[in-house]
Amino acid sequence: MDIKFLKRFLRRKSSVIGGIIILIFIFVAIVGPFLCTQDPLKIDLRNKYQNPSRKHWLGTDNLGRDTLTRLVYGARITLLVSFVSVFAGTIVGLILGVIAGYFGGRVDTIIMRITDILLAFPGLLLAIAIVAILGSGITNTMIAIAFYSVPYITRIVRASVISIRELEYIQACEVVGCSNFEIIFYHIIPNSMSQVIVNTTLRLGTAILTSSSLSFLGLGVQPPNPEWGAMLSKAREALQSTPLAALAPGIAITLVVISFSMLGDGLRDALDPKLKNV
């Protein structure tokens, strides 16, 4: 069953490329800092906005810090923020979606109305609002992103649960004596997972954009943390003289977000025919 899925997935070159790029970034995030010879926080004002040289492969930023090193450390922060926040948001969304879809009635109505209200706000605005209330910093950025991911996941899970709930095998579970918990945990959630996986993967890309945007605006991860969005923001002032300082983080963000997108598309297509057969 899973071999067919892999085959289908591997057929789509763009998704495979996306997947490989993500893996490379994850590798860089984990191992990279150990390979870096320079200190991402070491300030060296005499060498600010340097072009690429033997010492600084990608040049330096506004405070003379090595761009490449900051990029590598920044990968860790960026990926950490997006993975943790989306993961948290997915868990909460999964729980709410299952409760709303399975139990229906008033619980469903309440949850869905709240979801609808949250979805009415553009994601970034919501994130900004939350950070404005809670304050800036990594943790609050993660909370903000998690918060606005919840309604998307809730909706998708709920739809999936509702369509599965009426299938005969769920009725069969009731007849053999499964409790509600067993039905939800062993049957409904596993069968909803493909939708969740696809959506979560796509959300990861969005999360990075949001986190970068927040830092760009000075609201998210605070200096001197090397977050890509913050780096991009600061390097705008040197766009004419040292474009690389802005391009490097900019390209990194773009690359990762597109890769998540391609990966998500590929997952969806690979999982979809299976859903059709089911």
Partner 1 sequence: MNHKQSKLLEVKDLKMYFSVKSDGLFQPKKQLKAVDGVSFTIYQGETLGLVGESGCGKSTTGKLIVKILHPTDGQIFFKGKDIVSISKKEFREMRKEIQMIFQDPYSSLDPRRSNGKTIGEPLEVNKIKGNTREKVLAIMKEVGLRKEFYDRYPHEFSGGQRQRVGIARALALNPKLIVCDEPVSALDVSIQAQILNLMKELQKAHRLTYLFISHDLSVVKHISDRIAVMYLGGIVELAGKKELFDHPLHPYTKALLESVPVPDPEKRKEQGKLKGDVPSPIDPPEGCTFHTRCNQCMDICKKDVPEFKEIEKNHFVKCFLYNRNE
Partner 2 sequence: MSEAILEVKGLKTYFRAEEGQVHAVDGVDFSLTKKETLAIVGESGSGKSVTALSILRLIPNTSGKIVAGKIIYNGKDSLKLSEKEMRNIRGNEISMIFQEPMTSLNPVFTVGKQISEVLTIHQGLRKREATKRAVEMIKLVGIPDAEKCINNYPHQLSGGMRQRIMIAIALACNPKILIADEPTTALDVTIQSQILKLMSELKEKLGTSIMFITHDLAVVAQLADTVMVMYTGKAMEYGNVKSIFKEPLHPYTVGLLNSIPKLDKELEMLTIIKGTVPSPLNLPKGCKFVTRCDEARKICFDKEPDYVNLENGRKVRCWKYIGAGYYES
Q: Is 179 in the site for partner 1 (CB under 8 A)?
A: yes
Contact status: 273 vs partner 1 (CB under 8 A): no
Rounded CA separation 232/209 (Å): 12
Phi, psi for residue 178 in degrees, rounded to 5: -70, 145
| Residue 169 binding: pick among partner 1, partner 2, none (C-beta 5-8 Å cut-off by kind) | partner 1
Contacts of 242 (CB under 8 A, 6+ apart): 49, 50, 51, 59, 235
Q: Which does 273 bind (CB under 5 to 8 A by kind): partner 1, partner 2, none?
A: partner 2
Q: Which of 20, 107, 172, 239 binds partner 1 (CB under 8 A)?
A: 172
Q: C-beta of 160: minimal distance to partner 2 in Å?
A: 24
| CB contact set of 17 (below 8 Å; sequence gap of 6+) | 259, 262
**Residue 1 contacts partner 1 per CB under 8 A:** yes
Take residue 242 and report the two structure tokens written for it: 């040292």
Sign of the C-alpha dihedral, residues 221, 226, 230, 234?
positive
CA angle 228, 230, 232 (to 5 degrees): 70
One-letter amino acid at 221 equals: V
Q: Which residue lies nearer to partner 2 by CB, 224 or 273?
A: 273
Told to check if 224 binds partner 2 by CB under 8 A, we report no
- Show the tokens assigned to 193: 């997972």
Residue 175, interface with partner 1 (CB under 8 A)? yes
Q: Is the CB of 27 or the CB of 169 nearer to partner 1?
A: 169
Q: Does 176 sit near partner 1 (CB under 8 A)?
A: yes
| Residue 20 contacts partner 1 per CB under 8 A | no
Q: Does 105 bind partner 1 (CB under 8 A)?
A: no
Q: Helices H, strands E: what count in the chain?
A: 11, 0
Does residue 167 bind partner 1 (CB under 8 A)? yes
User: Of 247-276, which residues contact partner 2 (CB under 8 A)?
Assistant: 273
32 contacts 73 by C-beta, under 8 angstroms: yes
Residue 8 or 187 with smaller CB distance to partner 2: 8
**Is 177 among the residues that bind partner 1 (CB under 8 A)?**
yes
Footprint on residues 39-58 left by partner 1 (CB under 8 A): none
Cα separation of 147 and 90, whole Å?
10
At its nearest, how many Å lie between partner 1 and the CB of residue 178? 5
Evaluate whether 221 touches 138 at the Cβ level (below 8 Å): yes
Site for partner 2 in 4-23 (CB under 8 A): 4, 8
Q: What are residue 66's phi and psi, to 5 degrees?
A: -65, 125
Shortest distance (Å) from residue 2 CB to partner 2: 15
- Judged by the rule CB under 8 A, the positions of this chain that interact with partner 1 are 1, 167-169, 171-179, 182, 186-187, 190-191, 277-278
- Judged by the rule CB under 8 A, the positions of this chain that interact with partner 2 are 4, 8, 273
